[in-house]
Structure 1
Amino acid sequence: MDNTMKRIILLAFVTLNIFGLNADTLTLKAGHPDTYIVKKGDTLWDISGYFLKDPWRWPKLWGVNPQIANPHLIYPGDRLTLVFIDGQPRLVKKQHIKKGVEGRIVPKDGAIPAIDLALIQPYLVQNRVVAQEWLDEQPMVLSGESPSKHHILGDVVYVNADMPVGQKVAIYQPGREFSDTETGEDLGREVILTASGRVTANGDVSKVELLSNLRETKIGYAVVPVEDDALMSAYFLPTAAELDVPAHVLATASQNREAGKLEVVYLDKGLAAGVQPGHVFAIYRDGEEVVLDNSGTPVRPVDRSTYDKLVAHISDDKVFKVPDVYHGNLMVFKVFDKTSLGLIMQSDRAVRVKDKLITPDSLIELGE
């Protein structure tokens, strides 16, 4: 074997080994601190944002460290120090111990969460996406003891079903109907919690006393027995979403045209497609198709004439699709059969309906 061939083989071996190391290496942010004191109101995602290019990878930053094996053991006042273990960046902590007047250790509460739960708590409890057939089968509010059309806390409403006395119920307002923007497939009906109540008298028509209200209850709203899974886990371990086909932003929870950082959106994929709570997606806007006109001048979609639109359909050699544009990332926190809810954790640009959701870039580039 000649020297040239030996050098080629050696270079290939080194390249493969470097790639293997990079594939499992966290990328630190330029100008990151060496230490950090945890403050009240911090989240695991926030803290990782001081150190990592991709904050959602915080489990790898400290997950293998026995001192922080359980992220819930991180409290305000703890000092985190960046070290390197086997070449990997890790956060280790020096616990802040508060002592009482007699020198006894005072237990702490208020361990910091993965994300700010206040941002998603209403959606964990209130919003669901259900099949229209299921919704049609549920009992409904017929009217109430009060002559008002709007019923609130303490009011009694009538329901067209014989329900057990003492049964706790949730009352839902029908919302938007969702469908796949490309195939037209029915993805379900949004329902929004308006009140909770308890059955006080039963028969062909039962009485329900409203025990809480998030918004006014009206006739026609669905009445659903409270299920055991109504209380969902609020702890999320972020992992890269890897679906066979991209997901898309289906709608914004606020019903606005756009959404930004720390706002909630619906996705057009759910359990049936393999989406799970904690899945992280990168958000991309489709790149434009630029057409060359008769003079060879590039024409963007917003400036196309009727002729340019025709060319875009029939002349592949005159159409150029520019790269998709990165807009941020989101994490799924609640999943239904065909849809899910996600919180936008990073937003470089406004997020819109139909934006594409794919595996986070760092994993694609590094081959994880």
Structure 2
Amino acid sequence: MDAPMKRLILVALMSVTSSFAMADTLTLKPGHPDTYIVEKGDTLWDISGKFLSDPWRWPKLWNANPQIANPHLIYPGDRLTLVFIDGQPRLVVKPQVRKSPEGRVLPKGGAIPAVSLELIQPYLSQNRVVDPEWFASQPKVLGGESPSRFHVEDDIIYVQAQLPKGMKVAAYDVGRSFIDKTTNESLGQEVILTASGRVVESGDISKVKLETSLRETHPGNRVLQIEDESLLSAYFMPKAADVADAYVIGSEKDIREAGKLDVVYISKGKADGVEAGDVFAIHRDGDTVVINEDGTPVSTVDRNAYGDLMAKFGSDNAIQLPDVYHGNLMVFKVFDKVSMGLIMVNDRPVRADDKLSVPSATEIKGE
């Protein structure tokens, strides 16, 4: 190998190494505190936003820190102190302790979660997205002891299946069907929890006593066993998503526009590698500007029908502007092909078909 080639390879290696080093460098938020005492009601997202410009990099802030095995050990009263180890920012924690041999004080509320449990707790156990054919094959509600068509808490309902006595079950109603807009394939069937209960009598037609009721249960609702997997933990770490071609399917409330702390469905799930804690940046297609004969750029709001056609079908005079950032969301519940995310920040309203991508430090905010 000649000298010029060796120099070329060396320069390339140095460039790659430098790129990795920059990508691995944490960016502290301007005006960040040097210390912070964890308060009741704090979340990992809240705290990370106080120190980092990119809060999904939170795990890196704790890296190589023997005092903090994992973030689940952060409790109200703990003092977090920012230090530098080998030139990199790190947090160390001083736990709240008693002078007695009992050691650390563990508040009744437990460790702080990634996001507010009050915001996502209902969705951890209620909404599900399942295979539509599978759901259609599940036991159905036939009716109940009450002559009413609808059934609520403390009612006995009849289920067309032999269910073990004592089994905890839930009744679900049909929601929306989600279809992939690019492949036209089914992403799953939204099913909405109406009530939960316990089997009190087993037989070809089992009896279930409803113990909780969120909405009226009626004949035709499907009954599923309550599984531990449906009660997902909210103790996960925010991190940058690494999934391509995802988009917003719609708002959980089935409204046209969603904002901060609203829940939305997205088009990727467990099969695509999505995990709880993944953070996505939300973008919408930029406007298409049409250049008039006199050279004047004309936006959507100003152009006529002819200009709309040129913009829609392509033209040498049509210029696509960059995508517009609308906010970011964090996934907290994952199904097979669909996930649920909480909008953490939104500069503009979020709608169905908004694009999701890997976040950058300039887009993610901790506010």
* Length-normalised TM-score, structure 1: 0.88
Count matched residues.
Answer: 355
Give the Å deviation of 1:104.
Answer: 5.6
Distance change (3 Å), C-alpha of 1:220 and 1:9: closer
| Counterpart-to-counterpart distance in 2, 1:223 and 1:104 | 47
Q: Which residue of 2 aligns with 1:79?
A: 79
Distance change (3 Å), C-alpha of 1:33 and 1:247: same
Secondary structure of residue in 2 paired with 1:331: strand
| Counterpart-to-counterpart distance in 2, 1:78 and 1:141 | 50
Distance change (3 Å), C-alpha of 1:143 and 1:13: closer
The answer to whether the 8 Å contact 1:63/1:70 transfers is no
Give the Å deviation of 1:14.
Answer: 7.4
Q: Describe the superposition over 1:36-76 as per-residue Cα deviations: whole angstroms up to 9, x where unpaired.
A: 12111111211111111111211111233111222122222
Give the Å deviation of 1:294.
Answer: 3.0
Secondary structure of residue in 2 paired with 1:50: helix
Q: Which residue of 2 aligns with 1:25?
A: 25
Give the Å deviation of 1:216.
Answer: 2.0
Q: Which residue of 2 aligns with 1:276?
A: 275
Give the Å deviation of 1:89.
Answer: 0.9
Q: Which residue of 2 aligns with 1:290?
A: 289
The answer to whether the 8 Å contact 1:240/1:360 transfers is yes
Give the Å deviation of 1:268.
Answer: 1.0
Give the Å deviation of 1:164.
Answer: 2.8
Which AA in structure 2 matches 1:196?
S
Q: Which residue of 2 aligns with 1:219?
A: 219
Task: Give yes or no for the alignment of 1:53 onto 2:53.
Answer: yes
Answer with 273-282 or 149-158: which moved more. 273-282
Q: Which residue of 1 aligns with 2:180?
A: 180
Distance change (3 Å), C-alpha of 1:137 and 1:14: closer
| Counterpart-to-counterpart distance in 2, 1:16 and 1:226 | 50
Residue correspondence of structure 1 range 301-312 to structure 2 within 5 A = 301-312=300-311
Q: Which residue of 1 aligns with 2:4?
A: none
Which AA in structure 1 matches 2:174?
P
The answer to whether the 8 Å contact 1:201/1:208 transfers is yes
Which AA in structure 2 matches 1:317?
D
Give the Å deviation of 1:12.
Answer: 8.2
Q: Describe the superposition over 1:87-116 as per-residue Cα deviations: whole angstroms up to 9, x where unpaired.
A: 11111122222346xx86463232222222
| Counterpart-to-counterpart distance in 1, 2:163 and 2:10 | 76
Q: Which residue of 1 aligns with 2:260?
A: 261
Distance change (3 Å), C-alpha of 1:161 and 1:255: same
| Counterpart-to-counterpart distance in 2, 1:11 and 1:204 | 75
Give the Å deviation of 1:253.
Answer: 0.8
Q: Describe the superposition over 1:288-325 as per-residue Cα deviations: whole angstroms up to 9, x where unpaired.
A: 11111333222222333221123225553211111111
| Counterpart-to-counterpart distance in 2, 1:277 and 1:205 | 38
Which AA in structure 2 matches 1:85?
I
Secondary structure of residue in 2 paired with 1:47: helix
Residue correspondence of structure 1 range 337-348 to structure 2 within 5 A = 337-348=336-347
Residue correspondence of structure 1 range 1-368 to structure 2 within 5 A = 18-99=18-99, 105=103, 107-109=105-107, 110-243=110-243, 245-313=244-312, 315-362=314-361
Secondary structure of residue in 2 paired with 1:163: coil
Give the Å deviation of 1:15.
Answer: 6.2
| Counterpart-to-counterpart distance in 1, 2:347 and 2:95 | 35
| Counterpart-to-counterpart distance in 1, 2:126 and 2:294 | 57
Higher helix share: 1
Distance change (3 Å), C-alpha of 1:315 and 1:343: closer
Relative contact order (alpha carbons < 8 A, sep ≥ 6): 1 or 2 greater? 2
The answer to whether the 8 Å contact 2:72/2:235 transfers is no
